[in-house]
Structure 1
Amino acid sequence: MITVTEKIKILCAGKNISAEDLAAGAGLKVEQVSRILEDERIPSLASIIKIARALGVRPGTFLDDSEELGPVVNRHTDSSPTVTFTSHLTDDHSHMDFMSLAARKAGRNMEPFIIDIRPVTESGSFSSHEGEEFLFVLEGTVIVSYGKERYELHKGDSIYYDSIVSHLVTAGGDSTAKILGIVYSPA
């Protein structure tokens, strides 16, 4: 399987885009792009969305294993691998594990995930990117910091927001939370 980093390198080579050009097109720092291109870990979701936009592809391009033209069915009895996106400029891993619900779907415009959010002791870094997000709490308590506002969501609650506004999603309390998250990013 080709890694996210390898897919980014292949797309950059095919379009003759340097790390500096990619950084400028994605609105990222050259150090961020260099770290992404030199590492095998998956960059933050916000960075993937910005890189995809700069390369003219959909964000799911970096997460696809195979593509099906028809519907993609996920059974609760099937185990799917999770993906942990890394933080923006640090070596730390994120506090969220993402299980894609549509990695095999060709040409999709939305990225649906089941996301486990682990409690964190330090404050995380906010992200912003083009698009929209929908979160539905399946288990636990989730805190969504959105701009200057703070929302506490419980099982059965949901939130839909524009992701261009700085936001941070964390677990409330000492327990892991589980959400259904759908990310839309315009191509």
Structure 2
Amino acid sequence: MSLGQKIGRLRQERGLTLQEVSEGSGLTPSFLSRLERDKVNISVANLRKLAQFFSIQMTHFFEGEDSQQIGQTVRPHERVRLSLDDAPVQVFSLLPPNGDLEARLIEAIPGSGQQGFSSRGGQMLLVLEGSLRYQLGDEEYELHSGDTLFYRDDVAHSWVNSGTQQAKVLTISVLSGRE
């Protein structure tokens, strides 16, 4: 959203006319109209006048600009650990929260595992290293490095590292029905 659009939205959300903003800020209605339509640029001094009129910080006009990026990087040291440090199964979040996807990296020592039941949506897992025995309801799957499994995440499920080495698994959940 452009700066002009943000100013226009703020004015409309507060139920103000161009004339009212003009009188409160000292800027002409025609200038404000052109600004909202991105036909003119605004100086820092005039932007400060608008911020004072609306009783907001100037940074309000620029908030959310970072979220406009096409991509977002989460470095390994930035991953959020979702398990205790000494747990046999380590779980790391790979994506920022509040999205439509949830991605996790799971590292499990031999013989360890997890069980669960939820109704979040669908889940895909890719075994990066090692082997898993995966139970979905009454069905059992033996998965090895490179195998992918997809299922609706509304059934009871459990898994165990059935191999002799650490297993690494990437899981991606499509979250549905978020509130």
Correspondence 1:139 to 2:132:
no
Instruction: Tell me which of 90, 93, 102 is aligned to 1:100.
Output: 93
Q: Deviations over 1:120-161 (max 9, x none)?
A: 36xx66311112110001111111111111111111110001
TM-aligned CA distance change 1:144 to 1:110, over 3 Å = same
1: CA distance, partners of 2:90 / 2:100: 21
Q: Which residue of 1 aligns with 2:3?
A: none
2: CA distance, partners of 1:116 / 1:182: 15
1:179 Cα deviation after fit: 1.1
Residue 165 of structure 1 aligns to a residue whose secondary structure is coil
TM-aligned CA distance change 1:84 to 1:141, over 3 Å = same
Structure with greater proportional helix content: 2
Q: Which residue of 2 aligns with 1:165?
A: 155
1:114 Cα deviation after fit: 1.5
Residue 79 of structure 1 aligns to a residue whose secondary structure is helix
Residue 127 of structure 2 aligns to a residue whose secondary structure is strand
Q: Which residue of 2 aligns with 1:112?
A: 103
Query: Structure 1: any 5+ residue segments left out of the alignment?
Result: 1-66, 87-92
Instruction: Kindly indicate whether the alpha-carbon contact (under 8 Å) linking 1:100 and 1:113 is maintained by their aligned counterparts in 2.
Output: yes
TM-aligned CA distance change 1:80 to 1:176, over 3 Å = farther
TM-aligned CA distance change 1:125 to 1:135, over 3 Å = closer
2: CA distance, partners of 1:148 / 1:138: 25
Q: Which residue of 2 aligns with 1:152?
A: 142
TM-aligned CA distance change 1:154 to 1:125, over 3 Å = closer
Q: Which residue of 2 aligns with 1:83?
A: 81
Structure with greater proportional strand content: 2
Runs (4+) off by over 4 Å: none
1:68 Cα deviation after fit: 4.2
TM-aligned CA distance change 1:126 to 1:74, over 3 Å = closer
CA RMSD of aligned residues (A): 2.6
Matched ranges for 1:54-93 at <5 A? 68-70=67-69, 71-74=71-74, 78-85=76-83
Q: Deviations over 1:31-89 (max 9, x none)?
A: xxxxxxxxxxxxxxxxxxxxxxxxxxxxxxxxxxxx945321245xx434452447xxx
Query: Structure 2: any 5+ residue segments left out of the alignment?
Result: 1-65
Instruction: Tell me the matched-pair count.
Output: 109
1: CA distance, partners of 2:114 / 2:104: 20
